[in-house]
A and B are shown apart, each in its own frame.
Chain A
């Protein structure tokens, strides 16, 4: 088989977010998280629920197994039976995320999507993030509009904000990050093979917690690689979201 691509490590790293999640709704936003969720369901997390992108819960072969209009979807969120992986236009060291706008909120230089469901997601169900291009534009000292709530702000907002708040991981094209540090600052959890600590540091606009030993993102199994390449994404759309970079 040809070597594992960066995009394929990203699929694996996203899939791992849903390991041991049990019977919950996996809500991937973005192409590679979608491939990751499907890979997880096909292999180590078969109990996951997936939608068709509209209001139906569907099996891997497309069989309808349930109905999930937006209002029930929101109850999956507040009931905690969901793990979402959202995008982030900006994210800071405590996991505060912004998808609303860039610049001053009252008159933004760039209007983006709006807060959408980020505030309710962050406080109610595990919320991970996917960043297809790890850069200082995204990983910033301070986000312009806090949509998804980070650990510092959740703690400051009191027990009802922190009660179900959890950011399991942030996956990027370079690495996997988490908040498994005493004060919940972002930590470099694993590097995708071929990436150096220095590369991640340069692409991050704040001081990242870097342990002495940083493992590599795990290798896909032969079965997983075949599923990604032959079943889940035979058209190789993943390479358009995360292209192969020239070797560093």
Chain B
């Protein structure tokens, strides 16, 4: 598939899960394709990074489900900050562990899973819909019943995949990308390189095969597709470019880098990088 074909299967109002973590291995090429479309009114579920920042700045998010939004080396995401401070998006703010158990619940077709997190904190105050559950065993303890974070679609980015949808990560952390795919009705995987199935385990251990084709709907080859977030070991975060992103008004950034397709984006990035060299 192409990134635009993925986006053609999405519609306004959907609940969309985005893999990666902060400014790490984000499916940025798919997010950029989303930005080129007219799709809006999204509920975005993400351990947030620039994916959230860009979609928020473009006014595409109606509701966000997250535990944080950060650029890692730049702790606060400026566009997300601006969106929150102007009150322009609805927020379900939950703890990192609650988020994970919400994905587990969805992947396992359970309505909720108990979590020892949230109670006592203002997560309960700002999410009045959250319920608790009491253990039916002798301990009788009470926990948060974290509701399933079921997704209409998931977008994730990995290092390699085959055409069938078997996805491989070669970096240190799978994050929660397999759970995002399993929690979604449709999962779209972008990757640095599409390879033959046999190629996947030629040099890497089978444990790197994070995504199974049974939970993947479509695969897109997008070289440098996580840019400017990290995609170890293929490339690290483009710190200089991230800084540019974080310090530019969105309209200016979009005009220079997001005006056309992914190829144009990558060319514009290269042109910018060339300008930076003395």
Contact = CB atoms under 8 A, between A and B. Distances in A.
A, B in one complex? yes
Interface of A: 54-56, 67, 69-71, 74, 77-78, 100-101, 105-120, 122-124, 145-149, 153-154, 156-161, 163-164
A176 B275 CA distance: 50
9 contacts: A55-B172, A55-B173, A71-B174, A108-B84, A113-B75, A115-B95, A146-B121, A158-B142, A160-B143
A99 to B, nearest CB: 9
B119 A120 contact: no
Contact of A154 (B80, B84, B118, B120): B120
B122 interface: yes
Contacts of B87: 106-107
B68 A111 contact: no
A147 B116 contact: no
Nearest to B77: A111
B199 to A, nearest CB: 24
B116 A120 contact: yes
Given A120-B97, A161-B119, A114 B67 contact: yes
B80 A123 contact: no
B200 to A, nearest CB: 20
A77 B115 CA distance: 12
B141 A101 contact: no
A44 B142 CA distance: 38
Contact of A71 (B48, B66, B100): B100
A149 B97 CA distance: 15
Interface in B75-96: 75-76, 80-81, 84-87, 93-96
A114 B176 contact: no
B113 interface: no
A106 B89 CA distance: 10
B167 to A, nearest CB: 16
A119 B121 contact: yes
B84 A101 contact: yes
Contacts of A146: 120-122, 125
Given A56-B172, A70-B175, A101-B84, A149 B67 contact: no
A168 B89 CA distance: 37
A52 to B, nearest CB: 8
B229 interface: no
Given A69-B175, A74-B97, A106-B87, A113 B122 contact: no
A68 to B, nearest CB: 9
B68 A105 contact: no
Contacts of B164: none
A113 B94 contact: no
Contacts of A56: 172
B119 A117 contact: no
Contact of B119 (A118, A123, A148): A123
Closest 9 CB pairs of A and B: A114-B68, A120-B117, A157-B120, A149-B120, A55-B172, A160-B141, A107-B87, A120-B97, A111-B84
Interface in B93-150: 93-98, 100, 115-123, 125-126, 141-143
A74 B96 contact: yes
B143 to A, nearest CB: 6
A78 B101 CA distance: 12
Contact of B123 (A71, A111, A119): A119
B268 to A, nearest CB: 29
A158 B97 contact: no
Nearest to A87: B75
Contacts of B122: 100, 105, 145-147
A113 B76 contact: yes
B21 interface: yes
A56 B97 CA distance: 20
B23 interface: no
